[in-house]
Structure 1
Amino acid sequence: MALEKLEIEVEGVFLPLKVLFNPEQIQINREGWSQQNGQLVGQNNPSTLTINLFFDTTLPASTSLLTNLVSEAVPSFLLDGWSKYRPEDVRNHTQQIYNLTRKQGKNRPPFCKLTWGRGNVLLSRGFLKSVTKSLTHFLEDGTPVRALLNCTFEEVLDPELEIRIQNPIDDPVRTVKRGETLSSMAMEEFNDPALWRLIADANQMDNPRRLVPGQQLTVPPLRIDRTSGRGA
């Protein structure tokens, strides 16, 4: 089984950015309640995710950009030969992440989604707030081949999501309309069609596909996981 790599999906970029080496630690911070004049006051502040990304093009596990693109189509003995060549400039890997802090034609930074493995969302929507790049090892001609990126991503809050947290369901009873499915209802109620099973379970439906126009269904409240933005 292949090792799952942490990926950064960037808005407007077709392929996700894959890290060379998975981090050993991920720190998530969120400030909630505070005291003001002796009173506890709740705050809906965005969370921040801090992560150190390590890059080293001298190690066997670090393949070149060309290898990343064609490794599945090239015989392994040819890839072994490539590893004997001079290590590439590590900035070929770090620059794409580093550039996420730059203003690129929009009045906001590109949104990012961090995932590690199938379905494991570390940050559903955020932006790279700050990055510190440390180049720590160089070839004789000064080419950097090892780097550490200290990245801080900040969550982008969804106003509609915050409303649903405060008032999860406007009306707990819903009347089925012609052509509706549980998936379409879940999309409308929860903004996620994959949560159709919550409605099916709440109504003890043996056959979720058998909906009758005019049928009344109970829509359960949705508990929100703030880290992923998905229902729990």
Structure 2
Amino acid sequence: MKRLENKVALVTGGSRGIGAAIAKRLAAEGADVAITYVSSPEKAQAVAKEIDATGRKSLVIAADNADPEAVTAAVNKTVAELGRVDILVNSAGIFDARPFETHTMEDYDRMMDINVRAVYVAIQAALPHMPNGGRIITLGSNLADLVGAPGMTLYSMSKSALIGLTKGLARDLGAKEITVNLVAPGPTDTDMNPANGQYADYQRGKMAIPKYGSAENIAAMVALIASEEGRSINGATLTVDGGVNA
């Protein structure tokens, strides 16, 4: 029997990069998987096709994490189509690195709305439909713990907020045996941060193992803590960064 047999997962931002790898891994482990996307319907449908190929159900939902009503609607559609939400993976997010003094209030609002508020909204919407023993997993960043270069302040602040959210919810939801965890990637080879990109050598120079991780590495960690094997991992930040923060 697969580790997530007959579970239902919702992965926000599941059309590309780490989110897509997570969605496909959860399906391979036996879950039906809903994914959200903003601007890449073709990529989202390609991920759904791979989910369907495993014999599991897929659901593709257009939803912008900047819009709290869209986030809530995505959860509700998942429940309507797939029955419930056993596993919520908050993967959607944005990155903006530049000098602090150049940021505007609009930049602040967008960063916090997408990286923090949307996570809060998705969790609130999912909880009434999540059975005891559910899983809430959010994608953070190793930059929440160690900011290794200038220009990361706003992004790091948004990801740091998720640590408090994770720890608080682990306490709040413990009686229902719902675990809440944060997976914090470091340099990971995706289209947003390719291993052959402009800043890749700099990032490798910060790593104890100077080799970019893969989206599949992150997905493997998510699959573990989503499973029964991960039931005692709760309120944790699991850093997957090749030793950048060591």
Is the TM value for this pair above 0.5? no
TM-score using structure 1 length: 0.19
Which one has a bigger Cα radius of gyration?
1
Higher relative contact order (CA 8 A, sep 6+): 2
TM-score using structure 2 length: 0.18
